[in-house]
Homo-oligomer: A and B are copies of this chain.
Amino acid sequence: MSSATESFISSRAADWIAFRRDLHRHPELGFTEFRTIARIAERLAPLGYRLRLGAEVIRREAMRGVPPAETIAQCRARALAEGASPHYVARMGEGMTGLVAELSRGPGPVVAMRFDVDALPIHEATRETHLPAKQGFASARPGAMHACGHDGHAAIGIALAEIAAQPHTEWSGTLRLIFQPAEEGGRGGHAMTERGIVDDVDRLFALHLGCDLPSGRVAASATDMLFSTKWDATFHGRAAHAAANPERGQNAILAAAQAVTALYAIARHGHAPTHVNVGRMEGGTGRNVIADRARLEIEVRGLDDDSLAHMDTRARAAVEGAALMQGCTVDLVEVTRTVGATTSPGARGIVAASAAALPGIDVVESWPLGGCDDAAFLMRRVQERGGEAAYLIVGSDLAAGHHATSFDFSEGALLVAARLMAEVLQRASATRKLSIG
């Protein structure tokens, strides 16, 4: 890395961290990232990036798990109230909160980098030992939190965009920065892929902070990138007086509770990481009424199609058996489904070489993700059309694990990631163009 670039990074670091903290304070859930995307667009436009938003980068028919229209409208109004550019907000329409920013510089391959920007429906910790709380940038929105580091991903995207736009930065070709909504739940990646935004990409890089990889380390690829299915199960029973005529009821809450215990008891696979979770449950009306309705939000995961199919089959049996127990019926609706992906050797080599060029960084060839990331949809599309794709992990010491209420990453990792992606851009744009399509 040139000393000019190093100087630039040093001079900008504080601002990038401030940007991340602003996003952290204003978390937005999947398909409502109006303010987040607008803020990013406002920064990239002046740098010369060509911006595409909303329907230009998201295929509406391919969106899944979209919040109710009312929720989207409220979030949009809130973004505007908080000063988001009406121009950009309008272009995102009914939840198409994605952005693709592109910069070209001479001949060369198309290098894409993907950054996801959504938050989670978690109440952030408020105790003093939680750094964001102590320093005043904890979520200002009860029930929403950047508990997976996507605020950091967005900041890395901004940093890389600024670095790449500097005249002295060495690279050639086309840089495409993808700011993706709704990674949680595995919804946005598919909708952007189906809009064709990576169909002409030679090399795609997606990154994640943390993932139990300590600060100072970079993994050039991820294993155990899980497949998943997201189900909603709604039990329908029959209400009755809980003391006078309980025998006339069909108890939907009891069915749901029995389903929960059966779901967690599913036999995990002997040779593949497999998981199940019930992240939400809700049911019943009054205390003295046997509940006639209850609802569960379920997900199952597996290492591959086979182990996911095992989990799917068993989850279905758990839910249906519970309904049968109580004489209830159950609607089991698949909300979405994600896949895994593997890193292309060529792309992994570029990441490894880039990381090796950074002083004080320890490079590992691969690291288990142990979770899902719908970057897999983009990666698979790139690979299917002849390109290469990598999923890399930038280590960062965590205050608590991903999705914990006191999750927090070490911000030093933002600068490591900025430097790393700059190196990746240089190397990836210097390699030959592939035969795509």
Interface residues of A (CB under 8 A from B): 120-123, 143, 147-148, 184-185, 211-212, 226, 228, 230, 238-249, 251, 253-254, 256-258, 260-262, 264-265, 267-271, 273-275, 277-292, 294, 297-299, 301, 307, 310, 314, 317-318, 320-327, 368-372, 400-405
Q: Known contacts A184-B288, A254-B264, A267-B290; is A246 also within 8 Å of B277 by CB?
A: yes
Q: Known contacts A247-B310, A258-B261, A404-B240; is A284 also within 8 Å of B280 by CB?
A: yes
Question: Of all chain B residues, which has the CB nearest A291?
Answer: B279
Q: How far is the CB of A392 from chain B (nearest CB, A)?
A: 16
Most buried by B among A278, A286, A289, A404: A286
A271 B184 Cβ-Cβ under 8 A = no
Q: Roughly how many angstroms separate A280 CA and B294 CA in the complex, as a whole number?
A: 9
B287 A297 Cβ-Cβ under 8 A = yes
B401 A245 Cβ-Cβ under 8 A = yes
Task: Point out the residues of chain B lying under 8 angstroms from A278, CB to CB.
Answer: 253-254, 257, 284, 291
Additional A-B contacts beyond A185-B286, A281-B283, A317-B327 (10; CB < 8 A)? A239-B404, A241-B402, A244-B371, A244-B401, A246-B277, A247-B269, A251-B267, A254-B260, A280-B283, A280-B287
B241 A288 Cβ-Cβ under 8 A = no
B257 A281 Cβ-Cβ under 8 A = yes
B270 A247 Cβ-Cβ under 8 A = yes
Q: Known contacts A268-B275, A282-B282; is A254 also within 8 Å of B243 by CB?
A: no
Q: Known contacts A260-B257, A322-B321; is A286 also within 8 Å of B122 by CB?
A: yes
B277 A290 Cβ-Cβ under 8 A = yes
Candidates B248, B281, B292; contact of A401 at CB < 8 Å: B248
A244 B267 Cβ-Cβ under 8 A = no
B279 A285 Cβ-Cβ under 8 A = yes
Q: Known contacts A288-B403, A292-B405, A369-B244; is A262 also within 8 Å of B325 by CB?
A: yes
Candidates B239, B273, B283, B368; contact of A403 at CB < 8 Å: B239
Task: Point out the residues of chain B lying under 8 angstroms from A262, CB to CB.
Answer: 258, 261, 325
B325 A318 Cβ-Cβ under 8 A = yes
Residue pairs across A and B with Cβ atoms less than 8 A apart, 21 shown, are A121-B286, A147-B239, A184-B286, A241-B270, A242-B277, A246-B269, A247-B268, A251-B264, A253-B260, A254-B264, A254-B265, A256-B281, A257-B257, A261-B261, A265-B265, A268-B274, A270-B275, A270-B370, A271-B370, A279-B289, A288-B371
Q: How far is the CB of A397 from chain B (nearest CB, A)?
A: 15
B281 A282 Cβ-Cβ under 8 A = yes
Task: Point out the residues of chain B lying under 8 angstroms from A317, CB to CB.
Answer: 324-327
Q: Roughly how many angstroms separate A184 CA and B285 CA in the complex, as a whole number?
A: 12
Q: Roughly how many angstroms separate A310 CA and B247 CA in the complex, as a whole number?
A: 7
B279 A404 Cβ-Cβ under 8 A = no
Task: Point out the residues of chain B lying under 8 angstroms from A402, CB to CB.
Answer: 240-241, 244-245
Q: How far is the CB of A174 from chain B (nearest CB, A)?
A: 34
Question: Of all chain B residues, which has the CB nearest A286?
Answer: B121
Task: Point out the residues of chain B lying under 8 angstroms from A280, CB to CB.
Answer: 253, 283-287, 291
Candidates B120, B238, B261, B325; contact of A286 at CB < 8 Å: B120
Q: Known contacts A288-B277, A299-B288, A405-B292; is A212 also within 8 Å of B244 by CB?
A: yes
A267 B284 Cβ-Cβ under 8 A = no
Most buried by B among A262, A275, A301: A262
Most buried by B among A123, A317, A371, A401: A401
